[in-house]
Amino acid sequence: MKRWIQKLGVMALLLVTWEVLTRVGLWSPHLFPGPVKVAESLYALAADGRLGAAALRSLGRLGRAYVISAGIGVPLGLATARIGFFRHAVKPVVMGLQALPSICWLPLALLWFGLNDAAILFVVVMGSVLAIAIATEDGVNGIDPQLVRVAHTLGVRGPRFSFGVLLPAALPGIVTGLKLGWSFAWRALLAGELLFVSGGLGQLLTLGRELMDVPQVMAVMVAIIAIGILVDRLFFQTVETRVRRRWGLMPST
């Protein structure tokens, strides 16, 4: 209860500060509207269905790209942690590419795939797959060496070791990597959608800028933040908390 009061208090303080700044008149109300104007724009976007359609389009793309990222990133991270060739030859490439912002892949994606969903999906995959792979590798490397030695002493090897010891022990790290990959994918998706007509939330933001409709721009930003928090809290945080409690990394309530 106390935490909720604190959260609501911070939110109320931010809204009051925002409203006060708009009333001071440092900026034109057309360029810096107050929370009421933004809420009205948000309601209008939701009422006529534009916000829902754009959100579904963006989340559909994100879901497809995220499944591909997880399908590549987790095995790549496991291989990097356990196989010498991947550790010595592939890992430096992964670390180097991770330093490249995902939006830098967009020009290449447009040349390869054209102005379509495939280009955005490629950018999203490149934005999240490496983060998932690196976090998965960290999760495997963080396994207690004594657990591995005991498993080998008992003759647990091959698929039995991989699926019965390695994966379960590394699961908290893998879940953290998947959560990290989601945040990278969400950012890469919106960056890609901002740059050409795509029908998602990014295009709704661009449309607001072109129409000089600042309340719409801010309303879409609020919606993007809300969707990001909802997915994180309702799915990833719930799964992460349960896995950590199951593995004894957090006290059970």
| pLDDT (tens digit per residue) in 210-239 | 888 999 999 999 999 999 889 888 888 888
Segment 135-140 shows an average pLDDT of 89
Q: Are 45 and 216 in contact (CB under 8 A)?
A: yes
| pLDDT (tens digit per residue) in 146-203 | 888 888 888 888 888 888 888 888 888 888 889 888 989 998 888 888 877 678 898 8
Nearest CA-CA partner of 65 in 109, 114, 111: 109
Rounded to whole angstroms, the Cα distance separating 108 from 160 reads 42
Rounded to whole angstroms, the Cα distance separating 45 from 219 reads 8
Cβ burial, residue 114 (10 Å; 0-12/13-18/19+): exposed
Rounded to whole angstroms, the Cα distance separating 143 from 250 reads 16
Task: Using CA atoms of 193, 197, 200, 203 in order, give the dihedral in degrees to the nearest 10.
Answer: 80
Q: How confident is the model at residue 249 (pLDDT cuts 50, 70, 90)?
A: low
Using the structure block, give the residue that is written with the tokens 């592939």.
90
Half-sphere exposure of 182 (CA within 13 A, CB side): 18
Segment 23-33 shows an average pLDDT of 82
Rounded to whole angstroms, the Cα distance separating 73 from 52 reads 30
| pLDDT (tens digit per residue) in 43-84 | 999 999 999 999 999 999 999 999 999 999 999 999 998 888
- What lies within 8 Å, CB to CB, of 75 at 6+ separation is none
pTM, full prediction? 0.83
Indicate whether 25 pLDDT > 80. Answer: no
Nearest CA-CA partner of 219 in 56, 75, 47: 47
The DSSP code sequence of 182-214 is HHHHHHHHHHHHHHS--SSHHHHHHHHHHTT-H
Q: Are 41 and 213 in contact (CB under 8 A)?
A: yes
Per-residue pLDDT at 253: 59
Indicate whether 252 pLDDT > 80. Answer: no
Gap between the terminal Cα atoms of the chain: 15
Per-residue pLDDT at 203: 87
CA 199 → CA 59, 109, 117, 149, 206, distances in Å? 11, 18, 10, 53, 10
Question: Could you give the percent of the chain with pLDDT greater than 70?
Answer: 98
Q: Are 65 and 124 in contact (CB under 8 A)?
A: yes
